[in-house]
Structure 1
Amino acid sequence: MARRPSPGPTGRGVPLSVYVTALVLVPLLGVLALTGALVRSAVDRSGSAAEAARSVAAVAVLERVRVAVEQEVVPVLTVAALDSPELVAQLGLPAMFVETARTQAATGLEAARTATDAAVAEVPADSSAAPAAEAAATALAPLRGDGTGELSFADVVATYDGYLQVSDDLAQAQRRAGEGARDEDISATTRAAVADVALLSRTAQAAGREIPLFLSSLTEVDQAVGAEDWLSARAEYRAAAAALAGLTAPELQQAWADASATGPVPAVDAVLDAQAVPGAQPMGILAVQGLVTQSNSRSAQLADLIDTAVSRAEAAAVADQAAARSTTTTTTVVCGALVLLTAAAVALVWRSLSRSLRRLAGRAQDVSEGTLVDVEVGGPREVRTVSSALRAAVASLRRIQDQAGAVARGDLDHALLDEPLPGPLGEVVHASVQQIVSAVRARQELQSALTHQAEHDALTELPNRAQALRLASAALHRAQRSGAMIGLLFVDLDGFKAVNDGFGHAAGDEVLRQTAHRLHDAVRSGDVVCRLGGDEFVVLVEPAESEDDLVELANRLVETVSAPIVVGASTVSVGASVGIATSRDGGTDADALLAQADAAVYRAKAAGRGRAELFDEALRAQLVERSELQAAIAAGLAGGEMRLVYQPVHDVRSGAVIGYEALIRWDRPGHGTVPPDLFIGAAEASRLICDLDRWVLAEATSQLAAWRDAPGPARPGEPTVAVNISGRHLVDSRVVADVAAALAASGLPAELLVLEVTETVLVDDPTAYEHLATLRATGVGIAIDDFGTGYTSIGQLRSMPVDTLKIDRSFIASDEPSHRTLVGMMIHAAHAFGLTVVAEGVEEPCQLEALRADSCDQVQGYLMSRPVPPEEAAGAADDGVQRARPQHPAPTR
């Protein structure tokens, strides 16, 4: 029965939900991006406001330090004036008064210094004003003298200039802090408050500078300072005071107006304005003291105004921060709400649309599967349109169904057949009725062709596996009646995968076609050649005269298949291994006969390929013996009968032991030590080999870890341990986990474990290749064992997930010059691909010298050491290279 074609790849393509999501997601992403930008801007504004607040605070603390520094200047000048006999005489001051005034001035100086130190100490360490305050304190230290209360310096002028310089530096720092605040991204209110701080700071700085310059001109402490200097300072103060009319804060405007009307501000202005008149009477000492007191009060008033302005600026900056945070919160909440609303709207719309589409898709699926159901019309307008169209299509299909039923029943005169459907489909259905008779005849021919296709291989035109079993069953039934012998030859090609890999699958197909022709031409006309699949063929011989004739035929087939085959411009060669099974009197079934031939061909391949093997009682006994051996292996593994020996691997140049290969041994009770060659093959025929591999992995890694932890002299480098992994285990999905579990249990670093695999396993199974690549990525080393005995080409080494190439002992032991040359080529090619080379089976000094000449990296063999128990292997690195000559070849595995 022909298979009904699928309605189409309904599961493919981009879902509608993706388009809907994309339509919503694009503007939503834009909203999110805009929100992010707004949030970032608000965060930046918040940071700017905070920085402005810190800068304004720095102006305030620096102002207090500057005022304190300037208030030290007046006592300094007073002390200097009272220490001047000329000035005392000029002023006509009594000696008793001078002494008293001198004592008071010194006491005032100490108080001023204490106030300055307190102002510096109040500057926070993390403030931007801290560096300027520290610099001022450092500059004041040499100006103050030894701290005894007496002026300890001779140059009063230098001291006076030093004080003024400190005051100037602090004023500069204040201006920089104010400018930093104005440069931030702050609101207009905060900017105006910062500007008020700057105006008041300028006025306070001018006022603080005015009195010291005036007193200096009176006392003539500094001859460079005259009336012009303090008059200039006086003009600067008046300009700064006039600029205070631009204060923006009403409370600051009112406070300055009150200070300008009464108190020290107008008092100081009156005195200084009078002294600025040419020819004014010089001030007496008591008047000077009064002026200093009033000046200090004026400075205190200005400092209070600055504190008020700073508090107002800081409050404005805090408000900016709060506004920025509020903006951030509001923007985030609005965006989140918008996203949630959008998601909810999309979910509602999609729910309505998807429900209608699912209902429509379900009806369409029913129709595609041949169930003509009623189609409901509902949902959005577009869905309703499609539903209506599908309903009309179902109605048309029902009419076609009725017509097809009539044709199937053979009722070719039914009235339905005279009512064609409208359109091209109706014309086709009507025309099909007219062709029904022709179709019946054509069907018979088609059925014959389909039967042939079902029973034959499309590539070789030979009978396929199913037909081979049917033919074998029929032959066995005939043999049961006649008592004749039936022979079945299982032909398995050798080296076919190498052709596929090296020349491509098209070349492989051509090899299979030519092999099929050769087999067909080599057998009798009554014998049947079938292809089971892949590179496996069977030959059914009916009747078979004798087993000898079948063996002769098998050898002839091996010779025929092994002849070179021309494929395009290339010539390739494959071999064949043949397994022979026989049946007399039809005493077995086709499946059993095929299994026996398969077992025989397996033995042929194990015996070296390119030969024929007969399934006989000996093989049957071997199969029974193998089953018993497998049971004994399982029991031995569970009973602790397995042990490991270790053959050291030596560096060619230094002779040092750089690793070990772990080899399994079985101490079977009643049998002694069983060589690996006698039980590994049986284990590999079942999943027992995986259990053996796991045991060897756990034992070998634990042993090397124990050696590493044992006390002893340090050695350069760390030795590795190599473990053989079977092909069956390597394709097992648990192999990666098994290796990881062994490393974790032992605590051994992955780079100290080397897994050895045969090149045949690596080439024949892609799964094994993938598992090796995964293991190598974890740090485990990979080595190709017995290289040269399989079908791996040198060029394939470039892409293989391997680190080490181990050259088979057969090449090392050979005396043939060609083998020596081949070994050198293998070594140089492996080095070209970055691989380490290990030579196996080194038993003669001349072999070691030849390998050294060819730059081989590492060697192992009886020349250096036999496989030894763990306690002997642990000391191999300390004993040096052994030179014992072997008596027997080293067992493998």
Structure 2
Amino acid sequence: MALMPTDRTRHRGTALWCYLAALVAVPLIGVGVLTTLIAVHASGDVDSARRAEAAVRAVARLDAVRTAAEQEILPTLAVAVIDDPSAATALGVSPWMLASARGLAVDGAVQARAVTDAALAAVPAGSSGAAVAEHVSADLAELRAGVDRGQVRLEQLYLGYLDVSNDLMTAECAAAAAAVSEGVPARTARAVQDVETIATLAQDASRQTPLYLGSLFAPDTALIGSRLAWETGWLSYTDAQRQMEELSQESLRAAWVQLRESELMTGLDALLTPATTPSALTTDVGRLTELLYRSGDRDAALAQLVGTAVDEALALAAADREDAAAVLRRTIELGIGLLLVSTVGAVWLGRTVSRSLGLLAGQATRISEGELVEVEARGPREVRTVSAALGAAVAGLRRIQDQARAVARGDLDDALLDQPLPGPLGEVVHASIQQIVTSVRQREELQFALAHRATHDPLTELPNRAQALTLVTSALHRARRSGEMTGLLFVDLDGFKAVNDSRGHAAGDAVLREVARRMRAAVRAGDVVCRLGGDEFVVLVEPVETERDLMDLAERLVAAVGEPVDVGGLVQVGASIGVAVSRDGGADADALFAEAGTAAERAKRHGRGRAEIFDDALRQQLASRAATEAAIAAALTNGEMRLVYQPVLDVAEQRLRGFEALVRWVRQDGVVVPPDEFIPVAESSSLVCDLDRWVLHEATRQLAAWRAGAPAVPGAAEPTVAVNVSGRHLTDRRVVADVADALAASGLPPRLLVLEVTETVLVDDPVAMTHLSELRAMGVAIAIDDFGTGYTSIGQLRHMPVDTLKIDRSFVASPDPGQQELVGLVISAAHTFGLDVVAEGVEEPAQLERLRAQGCDLAQGYLLHRPLPPEAAGALIRPMAGAVPAS
């Protein structure tokens, strides 16, 4: 019986005016709150960018003060030296010449002071750096007063200006750090770092001439009068020059190269280098004066380069501020737009609800005319009441309609056909439909049986020759449209006639059924196995990625068919397989059958129990791969393989903790074969197991030799050696014995050997997990290599027999903050499960500092050490606690 609407149903729901009020208020409130939150965040970005720009400007002002203060050093030192009574004697010139030189020096000092005072005055009060500028101004005033009174010794004078310069540089670095800490983009941060790099060079350059002159005229002074001070300052200067190679901006690097190669720089560097003999200048006032002027020109050029870098950084900071402001403007505009759209939408929805009453009336009219339209019991209370009544009225009619449509379209398995219909009329209609369904199913089953018998082999239930030809033709048509390759394997049984002759046809039939079953189990879902007749089968494979996949399948089929078959006694047959490939569906089915059959005949002629492919290009490729495999085998025999060792260091203490052994191939003619050319070839065959065994024996032997030559202090940690084990070798049943043999041959304790495996192997093959558990029980440490590139979840770590995680270099090197946070989470999770963490590919100091802050245990990479030959790696091992020299 159809359910009739009750009074309770009619009065359920909310009044219409409540819906209208909610439709208007809720979207507007939500959009307003969201817009406000986004605008506040964007406003914060604008303020941060503005503070970063102010910090960069502070860097520029402080550098201008520092440059000007350093320009005072040379003329002031010159006055002090000339005023020394022994200056004339040291220089070997008349007093009147010294007086003239002193006048020039005094004028230079006055001009330099004026420039310094102007730079100090340019620092606004209350700005970043104002406190430092005030402090420096007071120090300079006190220092100048002492100089003017002649109460400051040469060393005190130099140290006073040096303190001023250092204070300003410290403040400059602090301002630069403040700019970077505001979260500026990477390009702006690098530009600020460029300013610091050039400013450091300018500071070190300005000190070379005072130190040089001090070594000439104040030999008794402890600081600037010693040759050691001169040489030390020169080392700092040359190191600053090397740092200039790391400038991030191409224009700055080009400007620096032009200045570095100019006659001004090369001449001064040649003169001021500690290798230069200074005696040639001690009697030549003119050359000394020229030195002072050239030094000033050099400092001015470097100051100009600093200014250029500052301008670039300011431009980028200003651009960042404008970008943030633009984001804020767009956010506000978008919020206003959303508010307008929400308002319009709310009004439109309200009107739509109001119109629902008219729509419901139209639906009632159509239902009365026989159209079973959808009636939903939703909306305001008034609409729900009417909708419930109409829905109950048409529910039974719709179910009758759905069952009739299912029968009409032939969908006899539709669950609707089993559902009873309401009412007496529904019972009669449902019984009629069930009778129709039964009759149609019986007819379809009979048609299917006849069609199956015509297209399938009755013995094996596989498609027969005619159906195979049809299937191959259809596959080639699909390949023409898609451009994909299609493969056909022709399988001819070896020794089947002997089974038939010796055991009888019943045994032969049993063998054919078992072979068919094994072949179906060996192919992929979607590939088709067909029996052509007798002992001939074909396998249709589509799509095909590479010809090698077909050869692999053929080899699996040869192995599966070759297993003994029990037919009241064990018998054995083999298989010769021919492989044919259509790369774009261009060949017809008959040609593809002929090519596969010809290849099968060739396989029989070449010894049976094998596969041949009818493709010259692939044959050449396989021959080349076979040649590489043979060369690898020969290289292992001839001793062409080498191991290099990349140190693994403790992140916190920078101490050696172990090595990773990496294999290299150096041919006898001296040609080095890149690892990515021979390791994939080895991994595709059993050769990788032989290569792994060699690496295990060589690495353990080498570490044992190092230990014997440099015994560890009792109780101190000993370095380990890590060896990569391939997935194929890890699943090999001999892997545990191979590791045990290597340890026994070398005498190395198992605790000093680390086996590195990829996480994909652990997930894909349970046998590998079993072998790892056995190896770990031996005392060998297990590390998951390149963690993060596979599909291992952090939660699985607690169940895996591993000791160490090696974070892939792509995560370590990524500048993405999200990736960096992920590294920290992995480190924390690993520590929670008691695992050590090794970071791979550390190439920058910032990466190392970040890893140290995140609590990473170990690290390796070019920043710390490149892979080393055995002699160099062995030199790193020290008897006392494994200390290593600075890299």
TM-score relative to the length of structure 2: 0.38
| Structure number with larger C-alpha Rg | 1
- Which of the pair has the greater relative contact order for Cα pairs under 8 Å at 6+ separation? 2
